[in-house]
């Protein structure tokens, strides 16, 4: 690897995985030659979101907001990359507070859009809601899988904005989950048992398959 200003080069063989969804994001990438396929787990299947060609850059969101990778990157062909690590990039960004603010704002918007697309890909609205609730609960779980305060307002505006359902639909789904002892509704939504929420989501999925 040859050091170049704020980056260095790396070569990938066709089919080689650069990073996986959920990995720590401490580098961004510019494709010098070749192709990179961006894929994401959706409905327990790996789906291609994009194939990036020479001149494209990617991986910047995780570098800038320090969150895990939202998708995986795999070399579609033999590929040459220029890699910029997080510290080097942030040193450049921090030299100009206005640029830092603009990039931070754009990253927040892109991350929200990315999250929304993940849920909009689920056609069944009930499953879409439960999957969002499950993901939020997992992020707040202390390891027990029980009595998890999601911090979500049961009035549903925040959820509605994220997954494209009406507030009435969300309240109706919550009432059913509360009836089954899966959630508790107070100032926030409490997931009483993550295991039962997963099981109920599986039941609804099977029901949908049976009705096709």
In this model, does residue 62 exceed pLDDT 70? yes
Q: Which stretch, 8-22, 97-111, 154-168, has highest mean pLDDT? A: 8-22
Distance CA 120, CA 115 (A): 9
Q: At what angle do helices 97-120 and 86-94 cross, to 10 degrees?
A: 130
Q: Note the pTM of the prediction, 2 decimals.
A: 0.53
Is residue 57 within 8 Å of 31, Cβ to Cβ? yes
Taking domain 123-211, whether its CATH number is 1.10.10.10 is answered by: yes
Tell the residue number behind the tokens 């194939």, with chain if given: 51
Confidence of residue 3 (pLDDT cuts 50, 70, 90): very low
Mean pLDDT of 41-48: 76
| Domain parsing of the chain, residue ranges | 3-119, 123-211
CATH class of 3-119: mainly beta
Q: Give the rounded distance of the alpha carbon of 39 from its chain centre.
A: 12
Mean pLDDT of 104-115: 73
Whether 117 has a pLDDT exceeding 80, the answer reads no
């Amino acid at each position: 690897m040859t050091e170049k200003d704020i980056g260095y080069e790396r070569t990938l063989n066709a089919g080689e995985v650069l990073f996986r969804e959920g990995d720590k994001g401490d580098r961004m990438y510019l494709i010098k030659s070749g192709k990179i396929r961006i894929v994401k787990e959706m409905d327990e299947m790996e789906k291609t979101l994009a194939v990036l060609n020479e001149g494209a850059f990617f991986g910047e969101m995780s570098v800038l907001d320090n969150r895990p990778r939202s998708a995986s990157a795999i070399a579609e062909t033999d590929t040459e990359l220029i890699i910029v690590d997080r510290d080097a990039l942030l040193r450049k960004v921090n030299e100009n507070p206005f640029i830092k603010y603009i990039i931070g704002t754009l990253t927040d918007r892109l991350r929200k859009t990315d999250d929304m697309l993940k849920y909009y890909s689920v056609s069944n609205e009930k499953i879409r809601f439960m999957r969002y609730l499950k993901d939020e609960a997992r992020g707040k779980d202390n390891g027990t899988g029980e009595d998890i305060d999601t911090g979500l307002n049961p009035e549903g505006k925040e959820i509605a904005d994220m997954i494209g359902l009406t507030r009435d639909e969300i309240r109706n789904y919550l009432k059913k989950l509360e009836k089954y002892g899966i959630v508790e509704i107070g100032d926030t939504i409490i997931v009483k048992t993550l295991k039962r929420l997963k099981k109920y989501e599986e039941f609804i999925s099977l029901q949908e398959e049976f009705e096709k």
